Structure 1
Amino acid sequence: MKVNMMFETSKAHPLVYEALDYRSLRQDMIASNIANVDTPYYRPRDIDFEHYLARESARIFDNQASLQLEMAQTSRNHLSGLIENNQEDSMPTNFFRDGHLARNDGNSVDLDVETSEMGKNSIMYQALTTALKKHKGIFAYAVDSGKNL
């Protein structure tokens, strides 16, 4: 993620751009699921990034350090020390969205679920872009009104 730091106006600014990136990625994954609705043995994919963004938000705004004790790594050749359960919270995760019965061809894509998820994701993306535009507008207004003093 490359954010131009010159226009960063708050602590949340990089987090919003990261959320936009993940929403865009999720939209592509849902579109791929819809495109593969007739592919035999296809399992729908999704991405879970809300937990990651919530943790990053808490770290940024509450100045909370991680509650996990980091393992010392004295050499680049050592393992990172991440345990599979801890890895879920440190990065967004891709997963297969199962839970629907597979058809006779083994495909478990439910077109109703995919289209509703796409609609929800689109609304969230639009809400983020609207909030970002308003935030920039407020900042621009404050800068412009300061010029007349």
Structure 2
Amino acid sequence: MLDKLDTMIGFHRQALNLRAQRQQILAANIANSDTPNYQARDIDFRVELTKAIEQHQVKRQTAIGLHVTSPQHIQVNLPQQFSPDALYRIPFQDSADGNTVDMDLERMAFMDNSVHYQGSLTFLGEQFKSLMSVLQQG
């Protein structure tokens, strides 16, 4: 049962974690928009999500769990740690102080990421409501 639940929401869990990390990177870009020589960063969401899912699948196949001393203990797998590769953004126009933050681009990316994050949360909420409905009926 838990494996099916993990399969059902695993993709969205990975996507939410990655979107949260991207939101932090974009927020740092916006916060440093006036910092001389600051290099704007971002991640390639599609590439990083693919890597996170592949890493999760490998981790599930070679799960490292806690040492159990009794057959009645529940085996718990340790959560995976994933860190995306942040890339430097190439500016459309050079600035005099060497800062590569384009505020219009950063705001657009920030809002787009926020909408996708909220959409994933809404989808997961509906999935859990459906699951709860099935459990209450059964």
Q: Same fold judged by TM-score > 0.5?
A: yes
Within 5 Å, give how 1:7-18 maps onto structure 2. Answer: 9-18=5-14
Q: Check whether the contact 1:9–1:139 (CA below 8 A) recurs between aligned residues.
A: no
**Structure 1 unmatched ranges of 5 or more:** 61-90
Cα distance in 2 for partners of 1:118, 1:125 equals: 10
1:140 and 2:136 aligned = no
**Which residue of 111, 114, 118 corresponds with 2:103?**
111
Matched residue, 1:27: 23
SS in 1 for 2:87: strand
Cα distance in 1 for partners of 2:40, 2:26 equals: 8
Structure 1 segments of 4 or more deviating over 3 A?
5-8, 54-60
Cα distance in 1 for partners of 2:122, 2:92 equals: 34
The Cα RMSD (Å) is: 2.9
Cα distance in 1 for partners of 2:2, 2:54 equals: 24
User: Over residues 55-113 of structure 1, what are the superposed CA-to-partner deviations in whole Å (9 max), with x where a residue is unaligned?
Assistant: 666899xxxxxxxxxxxxxxxxxxxxxxxxxxxxxx74210011322211111110000
SS in 2 for 1:93: coil
Structure 2-normalised TM-score? Answer: 0.70
Matched residue, 1:71: none
**Letter paired with 1:49:** F
Matched residue, 1:123: 115
Alignment: residue pair count: 114
1:49 positional shift: 3.3
Q: Check whether the contact 1:44–1:108 (CA below 8 A) recurs between aligned residues.
A: yes
Q: Check whether the contact 2:91–2:101 (CA below 8 A) recurs between aligned residues.
A: no
Matched residue, 2:87: 95
Percentage identity across paired residues of the two chains: 33
